[in-house]
Structure 1
Amino acid sequence: MMRSYTTGEDVTRAFFDAWNAQDLDWLADLFVDDADFVNVVGFWWTTRRQIRKAHDYGFRKIFQDARVEIVALKSRALGKDVEVVHTVSTLVGQNDEHGITAGQRIAVITIVAHRQKDGGFRIVSCQNTDRVDGADTHLNTDAGFRPASYQVD
């Protein structure tokens, strides 16, 4: 059943609701067919089908007991048919590769929503970025990839 969302903020909030419900059909329906989704490690999915498949994997392997919550949201209209929505959210209950519950993560998720011919908004682009407190950037060194801070006390 295709639902209708009157604003970019509405479809963004629905994304979080569908994610928490782990409802793959609802989640996929929020996106246009050729939507883009970039996850926290840079995987880039370019279709609704790929986005659904990736979330199916995540819900089965990583996020079975997880919940996300919006803690801040800002929407900016770019005309009457396009909105950019930024959120800060928390994620709790993620399982590590051994099934042990990991600590809380904080993310900035950016969604670009576009009004469709039916008048409702759908997501055309979504990017999820982990926030690492105290880090200014990441470094890739011989010891591996790690957050780094250039701040001097």
Structure 2
Amino acid sequence: MRLDTAGVAEAIGVFISGWNEHDLVRHFSVFAEDADFVDVVGRRLRGRAAMFADQSARHAQRFAESSVRTLDLDIRMVRDDVALVHYQWEMVGDRGPDGTGHGVRRGIFTFTLCREADTWLVVAAHNTESVV
């Protein structure tokens, strides 16, 4: 089995840096066109275009000054072309739904990525916020 954890980590890095640079095109560029995404409040979004449309308005307001950092990144190669990733994150700068701020938030993404030629793409993601 060819273990390409560096390529998987690079894709997750683009996801993170896209968020922190407030470049949602870059942020979602690592998702397959038909990817599935369950967001932190449990809504299921289907396809990169739906994800982008949903987050664009929120990112322009609530998340405009937010940034995330990695607490832990665990990559498990399921096959040479499939990876399972658990990405623990911490966010600051979230203004919250009412604009008053949320303080520090933490959570974990679970990503499934598939290699298409030499590119790793997220085909499914699930975000869960830690409440403790």
* Structure 2 length-normalised TM: 0.90
The superposition leaves residues 71-124 of structure 1 with CA deviations (integer Å, 9 ceiling, x where unpaired) of: 11100001110111101110111012332222111111111111013x110111
Tell which deviates more after alignment, 36-45 or 96-105.
96-105
| Residue 124 of structure 2: aligned partner | 125
Partner SS for 1:78: strand
Q: Please give the alpha-carbon distance, in whole angstroms, between the structure 2 residues aligned to 1:112 and 1:12.
A: 11
The superposition leaves residues 49-90 of structure 1 with CA deviations (integer Å, 9 ceiling, x where unpaired) of: 001111202211210111110111100001110111101110
Instruction: Structure 1 unaligned segments of length 5 or more: list them.
Output: 134-153
| Residue 140 of structure 1: aligned partner | none
Letter in 1 for 2:89: S
Partner SS for 1:7: helix
Contact 1:111 1:125 in 2 (8 A): yes
Q: Please give the alpha-carbon distance, in whole angstroms, between the structure 1 residues aligned to 2:96 and 2:110.
A: 25
Within a 5 Å distance, the mapping from 1:44-63 to structure 2 comes to 44-63=44-63
Shift of residue 32 of structure 1? 0.6
Contact 2:15 2:28 in 1 (8 A): no
Please say which structure displays the higher CA radius of gyration: 1
Within a 5 Å distance, the mapping from 1:68-87 to structure 2 comes to 68-87=68-87
**Aligned pair in 2 of structure 1 residues 38, 45: CA closer, same or farther (>3 Å)?**
same
Instruction: Count residues with an aligned counterpart.
Output: 128
Letter in 2 for 1:14: V
RMSD (CA atoms): 1.5
Instruction: Structure 2 unaligned segments of length 5 or more: list them.
Output: none
Contact 1:8 1:112 in 2 (8 A): no
Tell which deviates more after alignment, 95-104 or 60-69.
95-104
Contact 1:11 1:113 in 2 (8 A): no
| Residue 106 of structure 2: aligned partner | 106
Shift of residue 6 of structure 1? 5.8
| Residue 43 of structure 1: aligned partner | 43
Q: Please give the alpha-carbon distance, in whole angstroms, between the structure 1 residues aligned to 2:43 and 2:26.
A: 21
* Structure 1 length-normalised TM: 0.78
Query: After TM superposition, what 4+ stretches of structure 1 lie above 3 angstroms from structure 2?
Result: none
Q: Please give the alpha-carbon distance, in whole angstroms, between the structure 2 residues aligned to 1:70 and 1:48.
A: 23
Contact 2:107 2:130 in 1 (8 A): yes
Quote the sequence identity (%). Answer: 27
Partner SS for 2:94: coil
Letter in 2 for 1:129: T
